[in-house]
């Protein structure tokens, strides 16, 4: 991961994401102790496309939608601050 300030300057970089298919059984959402996540909410997959999100989320949506046998989907084109 690169600092947001460097991303804003247009420094070329590559993100690698690892996605897991999970089933939520119990628990309460809470912020991470490190402060990396400011807020957590449960959101249905159908509502995610309407949110301000990182392009990397689109990879996760494509995986959830297609469940490819290889576990891979095509790269997502990114521009600007990698947000939709």
CA distance 35 to 12: 26
> What per-residue confidence (pLDDT) applies to 19?
85
CA distance 56 to 17: 7
Q: 59: helix, coil or strand?
A: helix
pLDDT, the chain, mean: 77
List the single range of 13-17, 24-28, 38-42, 71-75 with lowest mean pLDDT. Answer: 13-17
CA distance 10 to 7: 5
> What per-residue confidence (pLDDT) applies to 5?
75
> What per-residue confidence (pLDDT) applies to 81?
47
Inform me whether the pLDDT recorded for 83 exceeds 60: no
Tokens of 41: 């909410």
CA distance 30 to 14: 29
């Amino acid at each position: 991961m690169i600092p947001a300030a460097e991303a804003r300057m247009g420094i070329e970089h590559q993100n690698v994401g690892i996605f897991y298919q999970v089933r939520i059984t119990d628990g309460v959402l809470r912020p991470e102790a490190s402060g990396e996540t400011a807020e957590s909410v449960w959101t249905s997959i159908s509502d995610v496309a309407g949110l301000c999100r990182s392009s990397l989320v689109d990879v996760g949506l494509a995986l959830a939608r297609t469940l490819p046998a290889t576990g891979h989907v095509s790269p997502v084109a990114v521009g600007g601050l990698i947000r939709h």
